[in-house]
Amino acid sequence: MNPVWLLALIAWPAVMSLAIAAAGRWPNLRESISVATGVALLAGAVSLVGPIAAGERPSLTLFEILPGLGLTFTLEPIGLIFALVASALWPLTTIYGAGYMRGNDEPDQTRFFVCFALAISAAIGIAMAGNLLTLFIFYEMMTLVTYPLVTHHRDAESRIGGRIYLGVLLTTSIGLFLPAIVITYLFAGTLEFTHGGILAGTGLPALGAMALYTMFVYGIGKAAVMPMHRWLPAAMVAPTPVSALLHAVAVVKAGVFSVLKITVYIFGLDYAFQSNATEIILWTASFTVVAASIVALYCDNLKKRLAYSTVGQLSYIVLGSAMASKLGAVSGSLHIVTHAFGKITLFFCAGAIYTAVHRKYVSQLNGLGRAMPFTFAAFTIASISLIGLPPMGGAWSKWYLMSGSAGVEEYALLGVLAVSSLLNIVYLLDIPARAFFLPADADAPQGFHEAPLACVAPLCITATGCIALFFFAHPIITFISSALGAGA
């Protein structure tokens, strides 16, 4: 295949953001362009599945600053999985965003859709980055183009949340991620993502490898490993479609995808395991999984509860990476997919609840399931998937995480996963239990009271995706395994 297609897919949403901006005075046209752009991007990404599955690894270098240091795009299976998730969920989020923004009479809707397109362009750039320099450039681009989305309301609360968002992400990336890239180049003489890694045999001592890996993970603040997580709940001041973008489509997935890619293609699974490079992160991520779940238990604000849920769920993916094994990498990659569908459904539901009845606290949801059956049924399905129970897709990623833990003989991680799953049950299923089984509050709406169809239809589709992923996970697992030199 022609590697120029990689550049075309990256540039497509950014170019079309100009058309979205030009159509700002005609909302129907603006949103039609947004959806059509997303569908076209998805079609382009899907067309790459065949060649990549057949073993092709297209690569394109636009320019080179130093030997082994240039703006390079390369596509491999794990990157294509991320690109497919982002491009599949973008059109649905756009439709949902149109219903939400209109239903709540939000200001600056054109700016919202323009920044959305730019964020997806950055996500595709991250997915197709061929080296650490390219990854860093698009990682920073993601931070900058999503800042206006976080501060969308332009009130005092939004400005504070935006400062935390920008401050944490820029401080970590410039203070830790960039120095880690420089150190890697000094030892390896290249930044290219290479099968098996580039650090083995470079003379980097084991303690240095551990320090470098820790710098990378904490430098990638979007992975939200504690204590670098504060930006994520702070960003909940944004409109709910932005929260969906942050938690499912682009931003946090860019973080954990970057951790996974650095583990597999910079350290290499064998070297990471033999050098014990991931040991610190293995336990800080474990702490994050449990601690975030405990905090979520006490959050009455629905979006904040879901935000801390995301902090914990992201560390499942970091844990998979830090196991430094093929099973761990498969589980982390698969959880990117299953978490994306589950968490975007939950945020869609939170926004639908706010749009329909203007309630944003868990304690206000009693009895609402009878008025909003589709929304709370979807919430239940997504919750079961994130807990890791069949017949939902999240069961497979949790299974592979547990198998990976046993495979590297880190049996304490099985306890971490079990405790976190129990906590997930409490703080997630509490919500539909309230909605369906408790008496309605006196001021609760009577009769059918769902949000507009543009809000409800996408959340029903993504909830269906949670179920479909349980039955069709094997092709995804096989595809991911092809990047690792493993069988299905």
Q: What is the per-residue pLDDT across 240-259, written as a single tens digit (0 to 9) for each?
A: 777 776 666 788 889 999 99
Specify the pLDDT at position 154.
Answer: 82
Specify the pLDDT at position 486.
Answer: 47
Residues with Cβ within 8 Å of 169's Cβ and at least 6 positions away in sequence, in order, are 143, 221, 222, 231
Query: Residue 377 pLDDT > 50, yes or no?
Result: yes
Mean pLDDT of 464-483: 94
Mean pLDDT of 215-244: 87
Nearest residue to 319 (alpha-carbon basis) of 404, 207, 388? 404
Cβ count within 10 A of residue 240: 27
Give yes or no for a cis peptide into 390 (omega within 30° of 0): no
Each domain of the chain, given as residue ranges in start order, spans: 278-488
Specify the pLDDT at position 487.
Answer: 41
75: left (phi over 0), alpha (psi -120 to 50) or beta: beta
Cβ count within 10 A of residue 422: 11
More confident residue, 343 or 444: 343
Cβ pair 70, 133 in contact under 8 A: yes
Specify the pLDDT at position 248.
Answer: 67
Cβ pair 251, 257 in contact under 8 A: no
- Judging by beta carbons within 10 Å of its beta carbon (0-12, 13-18, 19+), is residue 200 exposed, middle or buried? middle
Element holding 410 (H helix, E strand): none
Query: Residue 183 pLDDT > 90, yes or no?
Result: yes
Mean pLDDT of 46-63: 93
State the average pLDDT for the chain.
92
Mean pLDDT of 285-304: 95
Specify the pLDDT at position 488.
Answer: 37
Specify the pLDDT at position 247.
Answer: 63
Percent of the chain at pLDDT exceeding 70: 98
Mean pLDDT of 62-66: 86
Percent of the chain at pLDDT exceeding 90: 78
Cβ pair 112, 104 in contact under 8 A: no
More confident residue, 108 or 280: 280
Residues with Cβ within 8 Å of 32's Cβ and at least 6 positions away in sequence, in order, are none
Mean pLDDT of 285-297: 96
pLDDT in tens, 126-178: 999 999 999 999 999 999 999 998 888 788 888 998 899 999 999 999 999 99
Give yes or no for a cis peptide into 445 (omega within 30° of 0): no
- Judging by beta carbons within 10 Å of its beta carbon (0-12, 13-18, 19+), is residue 301 exposed, middle or buried? middle
